[in-house]
Structure 1
Amino acid sequence: MSVFRRWFDPIRSRWFYQKPSRQEVLPTDKGLSIYLRLDDVYSYLAVQQLPQLHEILSEELKPLKVMISSQAAEPPNNMTAQEWQQYCLNDAKILARQHRFGYDEQPELPTAEAIQQAEVILRNTPLREEQFLYLLEDVFHMLWQQQYGKLRTLYAMASQQHQPQNFPERRFIETPVAASYFEFADRKYHAVDDLLRLTRRLKQQKLLTDNPIFLINHIEWREHIMSDAEELAEIHAMHPELDLYIALEDPISWLLLAYIKEELANYYNIQLRVYPLSYHGRDFFDWSLATRLSKRADVAFTPFCRPTQEAVLNIARLFYSIEDDEQRVDVMYDILKAVWSKGQDLSFAPHVHALQQSLQIEKLTEVDVSELLQQNDQQCYAKHQPDFPVLELRIAGQSYVFNSLYRVWMIESIFSHVLEQQYKQQTTNDSSKM
């Protein structure tokens, strides 16, 4: 990095965070599309929202375009197909419980025969717009609840009474789809995780005719679902522990660490531990999205001076020069804050030395930090998660593993669930004594 940039980036970083991050108006000429797969469990959750969404779309975006793919994309993060499949089923169960989707507690993938029958039904039906979306939801219920008798009956009617239709708002494609998503103005929105973000965008552009009411149990940034002093005291007494595995060149890792440390750790008495990972080349990001997320989470962020492979090793060396786990968390927070909000280049020795002094680290460790990072990698991979950061929460003798900025709400949801289960158990015990 040039001397000019090392001088200018800290100034540019402060300016970047203050400037507007949202493009005021996105084009509507391509309409709104949703991409689905019949064997994708996230698609099953998504279709349960489509009739309600279509009802409040402005005429400018109608009809909602439905793209049904027959091809699955490669599993993320070097997961096997079986690991990815099991993760999706478990994750969908959590989403369904939190947001009250219809979902079988013991889900099974639909059979190949059932998927083929479902596709014929959807290809041949003359129903359009709202009526088609209701049929689509019903067909997904039949697939994922193993209502194969109903499906066969509907298939027989569709194959005998109708021919394949050719409607522009309904297409069957072979584009690989990993998980269901919406597409608006060439931007992709996860069908469940980004639904609120999408509807906020549509509402801002006056493309909705009514207020969107989706995901009613969504936990907003810096809003706690637990405020009762007695409940908080009970959580504190359980001494929850949270392990956080972060890729240091990943801006989401900074947003997540800062948010948890600033907002959740002290509030819930969480013992937080940080495990930095080796350089993973996490260099492809929607920077405008990361900036908007930082503003929603109220965490300062700029995309300048993100760590290189050399910088990752320097950060790890500073981090592991501290012995105490609690102090290490504070040190990592200060380091990443210097990188992601002040434009510090930690591949540049003078910046590293200045940070070392400000952190009051007298001597850097002589341990091989690359080996420590690889050990963290192995622990992280063993948790079979599709994205970073990876989190493991331990409380009341149970361990919960999840990942990414999209699942931070699970921390508070788990606390609430643990207390609810304890209250039920206590009620049961009191009843048995009577």
Structure 2
Amino acid sequence: MSLLRRWFDPIRSSWFYQKPSRQAVLPIEQGLSIHLRLDDVYSYLAVQELPQLEEILSDALKPLKVIISSGSAEPPNQMSALEWQNYCLNDAQILSKQHRFSFHDTPEQPTPEALAQAETILRHTPLRGQDFLYLLEDVFHMLWQKQYGKLRTLYAMASRHHQEQHFPERIFNQDAILASYFEFGGRQYHAVDDLLRLTRRLKQQKLLTGNPIFLINHIEWREHLINDAEALNEIQRMDPELDLYIALEDPISWLLLAYIQEELANYYNIHLNVYPLSYQGRDLFDWSLATRLSKRTEVAFTPFCRPTQDATYQMARLFYSVPEEQRMQAIHRILQAVWTQGKDLSFKAHFEQLRRELNIVELSSADIEQYLKDNDMLCEMKSQPNLPVLELRIDGQSYVFNSLYRVWMIESIFSNVLEEKYKSENEAENDILQHEKRES
């Protein structure tokens, strides 16, 4: 690592961290817009919130601008189109269950014919404002709930009785978008995952006239979904296990690992396993996002020295040189040294200092590169679009998810497992009672 980066990164990161985490005011001249695709399942979830959002927007942001694109961006993380589609459908189903969105039990991509009919309906309707948003929601329901008969009827009426409309707040284009997102003040917000962040911003700038209640079962950082002692003991007895596949140069890996260790692992008796990956080139990260996450999770972050490829290799050498039963403590200390003390582990003095602290007498002679490649392969087999990748095992079931946006799933899964367990036990008791009644 260059001397400039080794010395300048910690200074720069400390300075950046002390800045206010939010820009005081974002410009409102461009208003608030949402970008949608009719064949994007996240757009389907997002439109279910739009009438309510429009209702509480201040006049300065009305009307909400709706931009409907027919272009699709390339799937992330080298996923195939089919892998990405299956992931999105499964993920949207999880989101719909957690936050009570309307959703089909067995979702399928809408047919090309249905998509064309839906676009014609939306292009031709003279409805505006909230009336248009309600129609938009209805059309998405028809597409994703397989209500093709209703869609054909509406299409026939729209194509026969109305000409194509041209309103400034309703735009159709072919921009390539991956998934639905809001745009405000020159910033993009994922339509579902960043909805709370967006509404907090709008509320801060006094651009909402009411309280935004959208993701009703959102689990905040440092808050637990399960507080009942009996239920908690039930989860702990199940010995849940969590695998984390992390990029060592990614600060999100440090923030989430530390949060899970400090807040969830002991509380739920989760056994953690960490699988470091080969260098992923994730050191050009969003500093403001990492800073906000640090403050929300209350996990220390800064001064740091962003690891280079050589530094991540040295971090992996230290990790694989400690006994297996000590590796969780070791990876926490290694990442802590990098992300809160500005250590550059490609620098011999820093490396040797941490080696002594970890009580490593002799460095592992194993092929570290091969370990990392094996971890890469295991991670790739999970077919996830982002890092870190997490796999939770409990009660004979395995659940795979990814990124900081899905950490809440750990507690949600625990809650669902308990619900199913109690349901099964109640059904068994009822069966016994019914049998005893018949016998008597």
- The residue aligned with 1:58 is 58
Q: Scaled by the length of structure 2, what TM-score is found?
A: 0.96
**What is the letter of the counterpart of residue 364 of structure 2?**
T
Displacement of 1:338: 1.1
- The residue aligned with 2:26 is 26
Deviations 1:281-334 (A, max 9, x none): 113432112211111111122484211110110000000001224x21111111
CA contact (8 A) 1:275 1:376 kept: yes
Which consecutive aligned stretches of 4+ in structure 1 deviate over 6 angstroms post-superposition? none
Please state if 1:141 is matched with 2:141: yes
Give me the whole-angstrom Cα distance separating, in 2, the residues matched to 1:39 and 1:214: 23
- The residue aligned with 2:349 is 350
Give me the whole-angstrom Cα distance separating, in 1, the residues matched to 2:299 and 2:180: 29
Deviations 1:95-147 (A, max 9, x none): 00000000001001100000000000000111111010000000000000111
Give the 3-state SS of the residue equivalent to 2:211 in structure 1.
Answer: coil
Please state if 1:159 is matched with 2:133: no
**What is the letter of the counterpart of residue 159 of structure 1?**
S
Deviations 1:172-226 (A, max 9, x none): 1111111111111111111001000000000001010111011010000000011
Deviations 1:385-404 (A, max 9, x none): 01000000000000000000
Q: Which moved more, 1:125-134 or 1:361-370?
A: 361-370
Give me the whole-angstrom Cα distance separating, in 2, the residues matched to 1:195 and 1:430: 43
Give me the whole-angstrom Cα distance separating, in 1, the residues matched to 2:50 and 2:109: 22
Give the 3-state SS of the residue equivalent to 1:71 in structure 2.
Answer: strand
CA contact (8 A) 2:9 2:306 kept: no
Give me the whole-angstrom Cα distance separating, in 2, the residues matched to 1:166 and 1:79: 37
- The residue aligned with 2:416 is 417
How is 1:322-333 mapped onto 2 (pairs within 5 angstroms)? 322-325=322-325, 327-333=326-332
- The residue aligned with 1:275 is 275
Sort the Cα spacing of 1:132 and 1:340 in 2 relative to 1 into closer, same or farther, 3 A: same
- The residue aligned with 1:365 is 364
Give the 3-state SS of the residue equivalent to 1:213 in structure 2.
Answer: coil
**What is the letter of the counterpart of residue 55 of structure 1?**
E
Give me the whole-angstrom Cα distance separating, in 1, the residues matched to 2:281 and 2:314: 16
Displacement of 1:7: 5.0
Give me the whole-angstrom Cα distance separating, in 2, the residues matched to 1:13 and 1:188: 23
- The residue aligned with 1:265 is 265
- The residue aligned with 1:120 is 120
**Structure 1, unaligned stretches of length 5 or more?**
none
Displacement of 1:154: 0.6
Deviations 1:360-389 (A, max 9, x none): 222211111111000000000001001000
- The residue aligned with 1:426 is 425
CA contact (8 A) 1:142 1:151 kept: yes
Sort the Cα spacing of 1:288 and 1:153 in 2 relative to 1 into closer, same or farther, 3 A: same
- The residue aligned with 2:256 is 256
Please state if 1:294 is matched with 2:294: yes
Give me the whole-angstrom Cα distance separating, in 2, the residues matched to 1:175 and 1:4: 40
Give me the whole-angstrom Cα distance separating, in 2, the residues matched to 1:66 and 1:433: 56
CA contact (8 A) 2:10 2:303 kept: no
**Structure 2, unaligned stretches of length 5 or more?**
434-440
Displacement of 1:15: 4.7
Please state if 1:189 is matched with 2:189: yes
**What is the letter of the counterpart of residue 384 of structure 1?**
S
Q: Which moved more, 1:28-37 or 1:279-288?
A: 279-288
**What is the letter of the counterpart of residue 191 of structure 2?**
A
Displacement of 1:17: 3.2
Q: Scaled by the length of structure 1, what TM-score is found?
A: 0.97
CA contact (8 A) 1:32 1:64 kept: yes
Give me the whole-angstrom Cα distance separating, in 1, the residues matched to 2:72 and 2:385: 15
* Number of residues of Structure 1 aligned to a counterpart in Structure 2: 433
Give me the whole-angstrom Cα distance separating, in 1, the residues matched to 2:408 and 2:225: 10
Displacement of 1:411: 0.2
Give me the whole-angstrom Cα distance separating, in 2, the residues matched to 1:136 and 1:259: 40
RMSD in angstroms over aligned alpha carbons? 1.3
Task: Give the fraction of aligned pairs with identical amino acids, expressed as a percent.
Answer: 71
Give me the whole-angstrom Cα distance separating, in 2, the residues matched to 1:228 and 1:57: 38
Give me the whole-angstrom Cα distance separating, in 2, the residues matched to 1:236 and 1:136: 45
